[in-house]
Structure formats: structure tokens, C-alpha cells
């Protein structure tokens, strides 16, 4: 076990920070490599994260060749030989996102067995939309012994309306549809940049996917897909986390090559608070006089709304801004656990169902706190930067799922933070 120790209170983050490829893009991109019967697929700009190792293992479990060259941040996948149709429980159970292999395995093999994803600390996270969509495409789906078993000798194109623009369901169905007979139309599809990145790779592999980034996706099925070469899109959530960190610490930070368009909902709220955010040739600069910032109300929504994956970090910013801010979480229930931990640091807040009221600007003190999920871990570390005295953050397995060298990057910007062995 390891934990992070932060000496906070006087930190002013300054300088430049480099952002990795997006975790939430690379996981479905890896799932897409299953579809290629010919040649290798090379993914570049891959973040070195535990979730990526898990997905590599899920795919290796299908007897597919996966080589991760960490020095060059490249993964080469060769799925051109016969593949297995059962995703191993051992790895699937470690990460809910591995459910996105269901569509590609089914499309390629005509049958697929994938373990039901387990519970999750940020909400119940059902997969009904994934399954209903596959059924609409002709799959017969049963459950047995904790597994989902899907069968369809050839998937059929279908018109699918998603009750909610689920990111994972859109990805699963989009990948399944690439090898279906005829045309599939997915309405009320998710519009996240990671969906666009997946469509880009699929099209390079020989698929015909149109409309990615809009509410309606059209996929014309083809007979066979081949390997391709693809750069993973930049991680907008990692970029956003550093933007918030700069705003909280009176900072002046250039987030190198950050993509303005992908971070627009966050930038809009930062500016409403009074944070200076500028689009420079080399990236996005975030500068703030933290003491002069104003409270705001934020509601999380599917893209292009404010991302739920920035909610925890943004509440940490709200905690240092004088006055009452409101955060409404509409995407996941039970995603305010970090606020309970931050209470141990002196945060004043009230939670009523999906709404959290943050009474900011009352000062945070260092404390020992535990990460409750991936983004909560970042929120707690950012809080530690501004809290007076020492903060210890434990349960770093959450952090390692989604942030590469987080403490090193913060040190590079002037923070006093180290990672040490042992429990917090
Ligand atoms: C993805 C992201 C996650 C992000 C989330 C929302 C990855 C690996 N993860 O997760 O970081 O927080 O998008 O932006 O990309 N839902 C259903 N039925 C379904 C599927 C989803 O009711 O079949 C509900 C969920 O319970 C949740 C909402 O839809 O309330 C959003 O979930 P979804 O967009 O599917 O998120 P994920 O793909 O799991």
C-alpha cells in the first residue's frame, strides 16, 4: 500500500504540464482491436494506467497478442488468428468498462460470454441499454452463473433509440454494428470526444461510421475489418483536473496542447467564476486570483454538458471560493463520497439527493483521507494543496486507474507532495 503526503496551504501552481492520451478513449479503442481479422492495430499516445493493463489482460484472455511498449506509449494488437469468445472473469471483474468487449466479440465470433460487471462505488451502473441494443440487432441474450451469454450468427442492422446517451452502450453497439448485415442507426447516442475517437479508429479499420459527435450515429455494416494505426485523443479530464488545480491555487499554468473544444463546458464555468482561461498556441492557460472568485451553480450532464468526471475536482474548487456554490449531479447517484472525506478537512457542505451545497471559503485543514473513487482521489489531492498543514491521501489504487504520474506532475508545477510506502 502507498499513500500521498501533501504539505499544503501556500502552494501556487505555476509552469507547464503535459497531458496523456485519454483513459476513456483507449479502453474502447482496445476493445475495437478485437474486430480486426487482418493485420495489426497500433495505438499510440497510450496512457500508462492500471485500467489499460487490465484491458490488455482482458484481450489477452481471448488469445489475442497484445504488446505494450511503455517507453513509446504504444500498444500493438494482433487479433488476426482464431480468437476465444469468452472474456475471463479474473480481469473483467476488476473493471466495469470491460463490458465494451461484448459487442466486438459477439460481432466477430457470433457468440460471446462476458462476466456481469460488478457493483461500483459511484452508483448502480446498469447495462440494460447495451443488452437491449444488441437484442434489437438480433442477439439472443441469457444470463448464467454471473455471465452474460450473447448469441447471433450474424447481427442485423437495426434502428436503436437509447433512453439515455450512455457512453458505454453507444460504444458497444457502434462496434457490434460495424460487422452487422445492413445499416444500424443509433439515436440519442452519446456525443463524447471519446466516441468520436472510436469512430475514427473504426473507419481506419474499414468500417463505415457516420455522425460521431452528433445525436445520430449511422453504421453501415461491412464483412471484414483490418488493423490500423491510431493516436489516442488527449485526456480532457486530466487536462480539466490541472485547470481546476491552477484555479484553486492562485496559479498560472499552461496545459500543453489541451483541446479547447473538448473542455468548453468546464471553461465556461471557470470563466463564470472569474478564472482567466485563454486559448494559446501551445495549449490552454489558466490563471486565477483565487480570493476574487465567485460561487457558481453547476449541473453535470452528458457531453456537451458539464462532465460528471470533473464534478469531484470542481467541488474542491468550490470549497475554496467564498460563498455558496451548488453542484447538481444528474449522471450518477452516489457520487458525492469525496465530500464526506473533505468534511474531515473542515469542508462545510450539505447533500440532498443529487444536490450538494458547498459553503466555500471557510478554510480547509490537512487531514488523513481516503480516496473513494478515481476522480475523488484527484479532488482530495487538490484539496490537500490548499489545506493548511499536512494531508495524507490513501487508497491510491483509484488514482492509478486514471492519472499517470499525478504527484510528479504537481511537483513540476511547484507543489510539495510525495508518494510513500505504507498505509496513510
Ligand atoms: C463512461 C466513462 C465514465 C463517465 C461516464 C459518464 C469510460 C470508461 N467511462 O462510463 O468515466 O463517468 O461515461 O460520462 O468511458 N446507464 C443505464 N443503462 C445502461 C448504461 C448506462 O441506465 O445500460 C446509466 C448509468 O447508470 C449512468 C448513466 O447511464 O447513470 C451514464 O452511464 P454511461 O454513459 O454508460 O457511463 P459509462 O460508459 O459506464
Task: Summarize pLDDT for 55-96 with one digit per residue, the tens.
Answer: 999 999 999 999 999 999 999 999 999 999 999 888 898 898
- How much is the pLDDT for 313? 98
Residue 135, pLDDT > 70, answer yes
Helix (H) or strand (E) holding 144, with range, is strand 140-144
Grade residue 120 by pLDDT with cuts at 50, 70 and 90.
low
Least Cα distance to 372 among 399, 391, 349, 332 occurs for 399
Structure-block grid coordinates of residue 130: 447495451
Mean pLDDT confidence for 172-193: 98
d(Cα 219, Cα 186) in Å, to the nearest integer? 8
Q: Classify 303 as helix, strand or coil.
A: coil
Residue 308 alpha carbon, nearest atom of ligand 1: 12
d(Cα 129, Cα 211) in Å, to the nearest integer? 20
- Does 127 sit in the ligand 1 pocket, CB within 6 Å? yes
Query: Ligand 1 centroid vs 166 CA: distance in angstroms?
Result: 5
Question: Is there a catalytic annotation at residue 120?
Answer: yes
Please name the residue that has the C-alpha cell 504540464: 17
Query: Ligand 1 centroid vs 167 CA: distance in angstroms?
Result: 5
Contact 133, 169 (CB under 8 A): yes
Q: Please report the DSSP string for 24-74 in residue order.
A: HHHHHHHHHGGGEEESEEEEES----HHHHHHHHHHHTTT-EEEEETTTTE
d(Cα 380, Cα 399) in Å, to the nearest integer? 10
Grade residue 423 by pLDDT with cuts at 50, 70 and 90.
confident
Residue 118, pLDDT > 80, answer no
Grade residue 1 by pLDDT with cuts at 50, 70 and 90.
confident
Percent of the chain with pLDDT over 90: 93
Kindly report, residue by residue over 339-359, the tens digit of the pLDDT.
999 999 999 999 999 999 999
Residue 397, pLDDT > 60, answer yes
Contact 257, 298 (CB under 8 A): no
Q: Is residue 42 part of an annotated ligand binding site?
A: no
197 vs 124, higher pLDDT: 197
Q: What's the distance, CA 284 to chain centroid?
A: 20
Kindly report, residue by residue over 253-295, the tens digit of the pLDDT.
999 999 999 999 999 999 999 999 999 999 999 999 999 999 9
* From 167, 176, 373, mutation site for ligand 1 pocket: most ligand atoms within 8 A of C-beta: 167
Residue 129 alpha carbon, nearest atom of ligand 1: 23
Closest Cα to atom 39 of ligand 1: 168
- How much is the pLDDT for 138? 98
Question: What is the end-to-end Cα distance of the chain in Å, rounded?
Answer: 9
- How much is the pLDDT for 117? 78
- Does 130 sit in the ligand 1 pocket, CB within 6 Å? yes
Least Cα distance to 106 among 153, 63, 157 occurs for 153
d(Cα 179, Cα 152) in Å, to the nearest integer? 12
d(Cα 329, Cα 333) in Å, to the nearest integer? 7
Grade residue 122 by pLDDT with cuts at 50, 70 and 90.
low
Kindly report, residue by residue over 288-328, the tens digit of the pLDDT.
999 999 999 999 999 999 999 999 999 999 999 999 999 99
Contact 396, 372 (CB under 8 A): no
Long-range contacts of 339-342 (CB under 8 A, 24+ apart): 339/315, 340/372, 341/369, 341/370, 341/372, 341/376, 341/380, 342/315, 342/316, 342/369, 342/379, 342/380, 342/383
Residues whose CB is less than 8 angstroms from the CB of residue 71 and which lie 6 or more positions away in sequence, other chains included: none
Residue 9, pLDDT > 60, answer yes
Kindly report, residue by residue over 364-374, the tens digit of the pLDDT.
999 999 999 99
Contact 388, 251 (CB under 8 A): no
Residues whose CB is less than 8 angstroms from the CB of residue 241 and which lie 6 or more positions away in sequence, other chains included: 310, 313, 378, 382, 403
Residue 157, pLDDT > 60, answer yes
Query: Ligand 1 centroid vs 171 CA: distance in angstroms?
Result: 11
- Nearest-5° Cα angle at 325, 321 to 327: 125
**pLDDT, mean over the chain:** 96
Specify the pTM.
Answer: 0.97
- How much is the pLDDT for 393? 97
Q: Is residue 24 part of an annotated ligand binding site?
A: yes
* Least-confidence region, from 53-67, 105-119, 329-343: 105-119
Residue 333, pLDDT > 90, answer no
Amino acid at each position: 500500500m502507498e499513500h500521498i503526503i501533501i504539505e499544503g496551504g501556500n502552494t501556487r501552481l505555476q509552469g507547464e504540464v503535459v497531458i496523456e492520451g485519454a483513459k476513456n478513449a483507449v479502453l474502447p479503442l482496445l476493445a475495437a482491436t478485437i474486430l480486426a481479422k487482418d493485420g495489426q492495430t497500433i495505438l499510440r499516445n497510450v496512457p500508462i494506467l492500471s485500467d489499460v493493463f487490465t484491458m490488455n489482460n482482458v484481450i489477452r484472455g481471448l488469445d489475442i497478442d497484445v504488446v505494450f511498449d511503455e517507453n513509446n506509449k504504444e500498444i500493438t494488437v494482433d487479433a488476426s488468428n482464431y480468437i476465444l469468445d469468452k472474456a475471463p472473469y479474473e480481469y473483467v471483474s476488476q473493471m466495469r468498462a470491460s463490458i465494451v468487449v461484448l459487442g466486438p466479440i459477439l460481432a466477430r465470433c457470433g457468440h460471446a460470454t462476458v462476466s456481469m460487471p460488478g457493483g461500483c462505488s459511484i452508483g448502480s451502473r446498469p447495462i440494460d441499454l447495451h443488452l437491449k441494443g444488441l437484442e434489437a440487432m438480433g442477439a439472443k441474450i441469457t444470463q448464467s452463473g454471473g455471465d452474460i451469454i450473447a448469441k447471433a450468427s450474424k447481427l442485423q442492422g437495426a434502428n436503436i433509440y437509447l433512453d439515455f446517451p450512455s457512453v458505454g452502450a453507444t460504444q458497444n453497439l457502434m462496434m457490434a454494428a460495424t460487422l452487422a448485415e445492413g445499416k444500424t442507426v443509433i439515436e440519442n447516442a452519446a456525443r463524447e470526444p471519446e466516441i468520436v475517437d472510436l469512430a475514427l479508429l473504426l473507419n481506419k479499420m474499414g468500417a463505415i461510421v457516420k455522425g460521431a459527435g452528433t445525436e445520430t450515429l449511422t453504421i453501415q455494416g461491412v464483412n471484414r475489418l483490418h488493423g490500423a494505426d491510431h493516436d489516442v485523443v488527449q485526456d480532457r479530464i486530466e487536462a480539466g483536473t490541472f485547470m481546476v488545480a491552477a484555479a484553486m491555487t492562485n496559479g498560472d499554468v499552461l496545459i500543453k496542447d489541451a483541446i479547447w473544444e473538448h473542455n468548453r463546458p468546464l471553461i465556461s464555468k471557470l470563466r463564470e467564476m472569474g478564472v482567466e482561461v485563454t486559448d494559446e498556441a501551445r495549449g490552454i492557460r489558466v490563471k486565477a486570483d483565487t480570493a476574487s472568485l465567485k460561487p457558481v451553480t453547476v449541473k453535470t450532464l452528458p457531453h456537451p454538458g458539464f462532465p460528471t468526471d470533473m464534478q469531484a475536482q470542481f467541488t474542491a474548487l468550490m470549497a475554496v471560493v467564498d460563498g455558496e456554490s451548488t453542484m447538481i449531479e444528474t449522471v450518477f447517484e452516489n457520487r458525492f463520497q469525496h465530500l464526506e472525506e473533505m468534511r474531515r478537512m473542515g469542508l462545510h457542505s450539505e447533500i440532498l439527493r443529487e444536490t450538494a451545497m458547498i459553503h466555500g471559503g471557510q478554510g480547509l485543514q490537512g487531514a488523513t483521507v481516503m480516496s473513494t473513487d478515481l476522480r475523488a482521489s484527484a479532488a482530495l489531492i487538490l484539496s490537500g494543496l490548499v489545506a493548511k498543514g499536512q494531508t495524507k491521501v490513501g487508497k491510491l489504487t483509484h488514482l492509478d486507474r486514471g492519472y499517470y504520474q499525478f504527484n510528479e506532475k504537481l511537483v513540476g508545477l511547484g507543489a510539495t507532495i510525495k508518494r510513500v510506502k505504507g498505509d496513510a
